[in-house]
Structure 1
């Protein structure tokens, strides 16, 4: 993976999945460009230094991914500061509890802006710029949450907008395959990152037959594989890496 440049969206906290992905890809010799939002400046500086200490370059961008032109700003920034990216990991997501009694137009729009619009536009603009470069091998890796595997009551907007990523991944993979770009998605199942409380952990633990809850580093391992040369023949797939999580 040496000399490859990876974009990872949504790395704003030391417990984030995005942060774990950055660490893993950097350990493979990949330069890292990550986006964050509402993160502590001191931690961002420490995190960038941590990645730099792995022998790669690292740049962070403070950006609201719900902005209409956010996708172009991200790609312009990485090209200006690091070069042409070869890996795009669409990890950032917007999630709030709703349910049918509380769902309204603003809630839907807020989820759509981050979970769909920016993911879709980042992906297609990445592919357009890749086509006009001399690069021959690219990766787009999206994050989903297994919405097609079972219901998510109380999260209608999140479930619907994240589920759209599955259909988008499969269709885009066919269009950009001639460019040498693979497009896949990872469903990590419930992961013990910034959103879990002790109460949630206690409820979920019995549903994991492997005896533990998934960790951000587990997600990072799956993403790193899909970003590797060994995964060049895998495209249009949704990888359910849930540790045997039992729904219901």
Structure 2
């Protein structure tokens, strides 16, 4: 079924991991600014989303499974029904912990867990960018990848597999921006630090107090605003860059 929009002139954004936290803040911000929003998540459409037609613009996908990602990309193109894709936001990510909740080290991470993290956090964005390149080109669109402060620094809570996947996502951003520079498609990354979400680890308050000059957690909405800037024409000459959103952490 095509997008249920009152106007084909609305820009269209697709967001993975859109059911909670940063992803949910992102979809709310784009919707508030008049975009058609397509959500992709492993969970059903969230009832707290503020628009009734979202349920028919929601795609369930298992980002750890290649075929599921390919199927979701095909379904997304059917939803577009010939329209271009103005923005793709690769937000979904997983960061598994040890059984006692501790950080998973590189040496002790099970191989299967490592591969799952890479597929969700890095391979799935890779596939989506390849599969959705034509509608992105059609719209002169933008890709925004959600990396992490852990991509460039050893983090006390984010595991090694997560950090490796996010470092790869940052490198993928640079490569894709270089390749697509003359195509009209821009590719950028944001790297959040300590953001107020449901997956914060115990000890985050102490980390914020000792390492974040602004002495507070970031809000998901503060990430969404930067993502929107990079996805929109407000940043029309910005590509291949990474913007940290961390209150000055690691400065």
Pick the TM interval, shorter chain: 0.7 to 0.9
Is residue 45 from structure 1 mapped to residue 47 from structure 2 by the alignment?
yes
Correspondence for 1:24:
29
| Alignment match of 1:122 (pick from 121, 128, 153) | 128
Match of 1:142 among 140, 145, 152: 145
Q: Give 5+ residue unaligned stretches, structure 1.
A: none
1:211 is paired with a residue whose SS is coil
**Map of 2:96 onto structure 1:** 96
Tell me the TM-score normalized by structure 2: 0.84
Are residues 1:169 and 2:173 paired? yes
Gap change, CA 1:58 and 1:24, over 3 Å in 2: farther
Structure 2: stretches of 5+ with no match in the other structure: 1-8, 98-103
> Can you list the C-alpha shifts for 1:155-193, whole angstroms capped at 9, x where unaligned?
111111110011110010011122200000000111111
My pick for the range that moved more, 214-223 or 30-39, is: 30-39
Deviation at 1:52, TM superposition (A): 4.6
Aligned counterpart, 1:6: 13
For 2:116, which of 110, 122, 136 is the aligned residue? 110
User: What is the CA RMSD across the aligned residues, in angstroms?
Assistant: 2.3
1:70 aligns with 2:68: yes
TM-score, normalised relative to structure 1: 0.85
Distance 1:187 1:242 in 2: 8
Q: How many residues align?
A: 234
Q: How far apart in 1 are the matches of 2:144 and 2:88?
A: 6
| Residues 126-160 of structure 1: per-residue CA shift (max 9 Å, x gap) | 214444xxx24210000111235321356111111
- Structure 1 counterpart SS, 2:47: helix
Q: Report the 3-state secondary structure (helix = DSSP H, G, I; strand = E; otherwise coil) of the residue aligned with 1:180.
A: coil
